[in-house]
Amino acid sequence: MALGADTIPDRQGSEDIGLRGSNQSGMRDHNERLVLSLVRQHGGLAKSDIARITGLSAQTVSVIMRGLEQDGLLLRGEPIRGRIGQPSVPMFLNPDGAFFVGIKIGRRSVDLTLVDFQGKVRASQRQTYRYPSPANVVGFTARALPLALAKLSAEERPRVSGIGIAMPFQLWSWVQFIGAPQAEMDAWRHSDIQAEIAQLTGLPTYVQNDATSACGAELVFGTGERPKDFLYFYFGTFIGGGLVLNGQLFLGRSGNAAGAGPLPVQGKNGQVERLIAAASMSKLADAMEAAGEASDYLWERPDHWTVSPQILSDWMDQAANGLAWAALTAATLLEIEAVMIDGWMPAEVRAEITRRTHLALHSLDLDGIDPPMIREGTIGPDARALGAAAIPLSQRYLIDQNAAGRGV
């Protein structure tokens, strides 16, 4: 399935902790990446605007943008008239300029998503299972990737720039929660899924924690005003988190920073428990099964849930209480501006959990603390898969947002 000899990944240096990637070649020049990052951030910019923001000379910016336009990465907009001097011509990202593949390995399903340069989904494939295994994931990729690439023209396929894999770390340690045989899950201890996918596809391949990737999707593809510092929660089978500091995704020493599941919180009964026990979808599924309600569709239908109102309300109360305590802890340590909540759930459920979390936070003792805003995420159920696709996009075409105002 390799897409060409010139894209076969170089495994050297692929064991970097946090974000593991094969093949760092083809990285854009610093100033090209700076321009692309600014255009993505603002939606469209003229050369004069970029020169003002970056401090680069007008001539330098003109050369860079002309080259990016020739490469097919930027598109010229309609001239804006009515100002003194020459009309201003905004430049926009060309959606067909590059494509990226995201693979989300979940505890109940695996998804493969093809996105364009603007983050629009062009194709997606999905498979559900009782539990994940390396062999299943590789086999699914071998079947799903050709189907996704078939959506592209022959001219577009060479523009597929890489694959990102979003997955929970240490899957073998969650056997008791997902009911999988220990022997089957132990296969993850010795599997290098990144190397197997890279060898299968011939594309640069990166691996990141799944909740961190969902947070990355909010950072790269999210809409509306994004705070510079925020804690992010994603509801899946288990609750997970990500952290953005000074506009940059913070991975931590092992790549598992803000992996919020083990965080101790005070439960509704006053006892200390882990956030994973208070705010995971698996707890909602357990409550449904105990009441005789089928829960399998929770993993298949994020747009609509059929669950007894009282069971859902009790779960949302428990989850909101846990998130409020987690937000309080984070605000105490980091002075974050916001907490953002998203997940594999209907939009109305996300909105209600956000509302209840705000109320729960403001019922706690906030003396000496500037409480963060509690906000909904903007991506939705596909945040992990889109975040996976955002990894190769960021690695090849974007720049540290903290450097967005500095040209060299």
Q: Both tokens of residue 42? A: 């603002």
- Please write the tens of the pLDDT for every residue from 79-91: 776 666 566 789 9
**Range among 9-13, 173-177, 290-294 rated most confident:** 290-294
Give all strands of the β-sheet with 248-249 in edge-to-edge order: 248-249, 239-245, 230-235, 338-343, 373-376
Confidence of residue 7 (pLDDT cuts 50, 70, 90): very low
Please determine, for residue 362, whether its predicted confidence score (pLDDT) is greater than 50: yes
* Residues 17-43: b if buried by 16+ CB within 10 A, e if exposed: ebbbbbbbeeebeebbbbbbbbbbeee
All structural domains of the chain with their residue ranges: 99-214+385-390, 225-377
Q: What is the CATH number of domain 99-214+385-390?
A: 3.30.420.40
Q: Which pLDDT tens digit goes with each residue over 9-27?
A: 332 333 333 444 443 333 4
Domains 99-214+385-390 and 225-377 share a fold: yes
Lowest mean pLDDT among 119-128, 180-189, 217-226, 373-382: 180-189
Provide the CATH number for the domain formed by 225-377 in this structure. 3.30.420.40
As beta bridge partners, residue 242 has: 232
CA separation for the pair 208, 19 (Å, rounded): 5
Q: How confident is the model at residue 312 (pLDDT cuts 50, 70, 90)?
A: very high
Q: List the beta strands (DSSP E) in 246-313.
A: 248-249, 264-266, 272-274
Report pLDDT digits (tens) over 21-52: 443 333 458 889 999 999 998 888 999 999 99
